[in-house]
């Protein structure tokens, strides 16, 4: 059973301060953090050697997006949570059913989304 004590969360966020904040928030809650990665290429490189339980993906990564990483994670059945200031309508149709946490997010909302994603993983 995956719990906060041993769950790994991939963080893909191109804004350094937000990435550091996410990492600190998750680690304080007892999660192991993979990353943070600031680009799709960096995230995919991390996935070569590690398998996260949950992924927090910033939709916009500078001049690109995170959907290539999301496709890989979806194939691996990793739980995905998108982080964005946009609505779900900005997501590709294949990913619109996935959880989305609106930026700016409240820490307790983000942690609840991770907890729910871990619960979904156990029933998948």
pLDDT at residue 1, rounded to an integer: 41
Contacts of 38 (CB under 8 A, 6+ apart): 12, 13, 14, 16, 19, 61
**CATH topology for 8-123?**
Rossmann fold (3.40.50)
pLDDT at residue 90, rounded to an integer: 87
Mean pLDDT of 96-111: 95
Site of tokens 């989304």: 113
- Structure confidence by residue, pLDDT tens digits, 39-50: 999 999 999 999
pLDDT at 83 over 70: yes
Other beta carbons less than 10 A from residue 85's beta carbon: 12
CA nearest 53: which of 70, 77, 69, 37?
77
For the whole model, what pTM was predicted? 0.94
Joined tokens for residue 118 = 């871990």
- Structure confidence by residue, pLDDT tens digits, 4-29: 668 999 999 999 999 999 999 999 99
């Amino acid at each position: 059973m995956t719990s906060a004590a041993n769950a790994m969360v991939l963080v893909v966020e191109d804004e350094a301060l937000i990435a550091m904040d996410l990492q600190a928030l998750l680690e304080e809650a007892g999660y192991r953090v993979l990353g943070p990665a600031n680009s799709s290429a960096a995230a995919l490189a991390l996935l070569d050697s590690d398998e996260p339980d949950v992924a927090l993906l910033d939709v916009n990564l500078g001049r690109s997006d995170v959907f290539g990483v999301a496709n890989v994670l979806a194939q691996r059945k990793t739980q995905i949570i998108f982080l964005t200031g946009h609505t779900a309508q900005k997501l590709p149709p294949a990913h619109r059913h996935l959880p989305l946490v609106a930026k700016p997010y409240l820490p307790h909302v983000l942690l609840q989304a991770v907890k729910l994603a871990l619960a979904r993983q156990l029933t998948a």
